[in-house]
Chains A and B, each alone.
Chain A
């Protein structure tokens, strides 16, 4: 994800690292020279000074190691606790039954699992084609134009919009008195959130396809649209699938925009114009409920969701690691 971003201004002019760095190096040299001169003049302090420098070095190393441990510890704690609680609460009923009325023990989240599938399917239907189209425009038609830069910047802006704000906007746009809360509005909210990620990764991947491949297709008399669709996109497809999976994984756990678009539903429902349940929504509802059995189910749902997302991300790493594009640039 993050590696996608900084390449944006790659071609922009006006930055000469050599000169700047030379200046910086000169400054550094003078600073270190001053320091060593001081050491020569203050001979009595030199021993203390070198011990002090070594001590600081060790201290800094220790601090860096300590902070890494401090960061890794909560992660392992979250994962360990999630697996421990989730695995002990998972059972067959969780996958096959719908929720029992509040306060009763038992029941499952079959409707939420199916609902999440429906919502994510809708989101992919909206987000993937538009996202890939935008990426194709950026990489094939709009290279270096002002419009392309503006689109790229807008995609970054869209990526940074908090998901709750997206929910508010989609509520205003789609939710009407006639169709208060619905699966469609939830799918639209999630689909919009997928677009920027898909666009930017598609662009990155298409830029990696060598020019000679395109030229070969055009030299054979293949129309441009055909060459883009079945040559360029096809060559870059592992990378593009990676981007789609990343967007999918990101959106799969989104709760905030669904609270007032898909709303949640404790009965079976796959109708697109009715409120629909989703795993993250149920986790949220059950986590803040007062019943122990609902807490148990929240952990089970969290485990299922994380396994889904980690599987998607690992698949991405696997595909990207052995993809056609590796080394071709």
Chain B
């Protein structure tokens, strides 16, 4: 950018031929006045360069933050890593008294991340199972079927759903969802699906994986559906018209013309929702029950990676305990980065290059 200024001043310094013919002395005086003015203003190159580097510094600090987070997590989990290595993620201990498997016993120094990994995976999977069909249904309705009057308010509502803090979802879940499930949803599940072994009648609290899955589903729905909508909007209108022109019904048009073209992006949106579900803390902590155990029953209480950190980090009993919790955090960090990167790449693959359809 400074070049522009320099060339400008050099042009100004050369008196034009017309000026010389008309009034040479005046023009010379004028040009020297300009030159004097420009010289007196000083050179802004230092300020420009300083500003440039300040902005670069700001941008680099984003790198620095990520590196600091990663290094801090690695440093904090060093103790556990040195003691149990990779075994930390799959080992289990035996309770000397009851002979039952024991995973997490801070008092006696037994640490294994297995029940938390299980809890995170189960609750996230349940959430996806509930949220994905609904989210795609909402996206289809909003992009292809919805009357124009409803589209704005409904989109705003789903956006609002994303703006509510997770602790308020948790509050609602504790006082409305969990009692509802305890009274009206769990009994039929136990009655009709109890034979599968996934719904056992041994947890009367209503807290557990299913409650966590439902609240997670409500929370990740807006993310999945708004991204799916975006991807579906990126499918060119000519596709729709072509399929309709061949005599397809509206659903066939959506299935063949829209969903097929957008499927990679939809998968990306789902994975992004998964990333959010894996790292979600407060709502899950409040309804999952927080017991470090692995049970086949979906109605049993458990704990997730994020929930155990939220519960125990502030009052960790020993350095090893703190270190084990930090290592769980590190695992969560790495998994969410991988999941998010994958999702971004998939969403980009569909939406880049395609112009947004004007609604």
Contacts and interface: CB of A to CB of B under 8 A. Distances in A.
A157 interface: yes
A228 B5 contact: no
A77 B257 CA distance: 35
Interface string A158-195: 11111111111101110000000100000000001001
Interface in B275-315: 275, 278-282, 286, 306, 309-310, 313-314
Interface string B160-203: 11111111111110111000000000000000000000000000
Interface in A102-154: 129-134, 136-138, 140-142, 147-148, 150-151, 153-154
B65 to A, nearest CB: 6
Interface in B85-131: none
B161 to A, nearest CB: 5
Given A137-B59, A165-B69, A306-B164, A57 B252 contact: yes
Interface stretch (A40-48, A93-101, A295-303): A295-303
A17 B235 CA distance: 10
Interface string B1-35: 11011001000000000000000000000000000
Contacts of B138: 64, 67-68, 71
A253 interface: yes
A130 B58 CA distance: 5
Q: Interface of chain B, helix or strand or loop or mixed?
A: helix
Contacts of B134: 67, 70-71
A239 interface: no
Contacts of A223: 5, 44, 47-48
B286 A284 contact: yes
Nearest to B269: A2
Interface in A263-312: 263, 280, 283-284, 287-288, 295, 298-299, 302, 305-306, 309-310
Nearest to B43: A223
Given A53-B249, A313-B163, A68 B154 contact: yes
A24 B239 CA distance: 9
B8 A219 contact: yes
Contacts of A138: 59
B76 interface: yes
B65 A192 contact: yes
A218 interface: yes
Given A32-B247, A134-B59, A160 B337 contact: yes
A267 B137 CA distance: 49
Given A67-B138, A134-B61, A156-B344, A255 B166 contact: yes
Contact of B175 (A137, A148, A192, A295): A295
B106 to A, nearest CB: 16
For B137, B226, B275, B325, which residue has the most chain A Cβ atoms within 10 angstroms?
Answer: B137
A161 B333 contact: yes
For B134, B168, B246, which residue has the most chain A Cβ atoms within 10 angstroms?
Answer: B168
A287 B174 contact: yes
Interface residues of B, number: 118
B358 interface: no
Contacts of B212: none
B248 interface: yes
Interface in B246-284: 246-252, 254-257, 260-261, 275, 278-282
For B221, B250, B278, B352, which residue has the most chain A Cβ atoms within 10 angstroms?
Answer: B352
A77 B168 contact: no
A329 interface: no
Interface string B321-357: 0000110010011001101110010011001111000
B226 A2 contact: yes
A302 B162 CA distance: 15
B257 A28 contact: yes
Given A71-B221, A169-B72, A54 B164 contact: no
A306 B279 contact: no
Interface in A225-270: 225-226, 228, 249-250, 252-256, 259-260, 263
A224 B48 contact: yes
Given A5-B347, A78-B164, A164 B62 contact: no
A87 interface: no
B143 to A, nearest CB: 10
A28 B246 contact: yes
Given A162-B306, A225-B48, A313-B160, A133 B65 contact: no
Nearest to A31: B256
Given A17-B354, A31-B256, A138-B59, A165 B73 contact: yes
A65 B142 CA distance: 9
A91 interface: no
Contacts of A295: 175
11 contacts: A2-B226, A25-B242, A32-B248, A57-B252, A71-B158, A130-B61, A164-B329, A225-B50, A225-B52, A259-B313, A288-B286
Given A71-B134, A133-B57, A192-B65, 17 more contacts: A6-B234, A6-B352, A21-B236, A32-B248, A53-B252, A67-B133, A81-B176, A147-B56, A158-B62, A158-B66, A161-B66, A169-B73, A173-B68, A221-B38, A253-B165, A284-B282, A295-B175
Which 9 residue pairs of A and B lie closest in terms of their CB atoms, listed nearest first? A253-B165, A162-B279, A133-B58, A67-B137, A223-B44, A225-B51, A160-B340, A60-B251, A6-B351
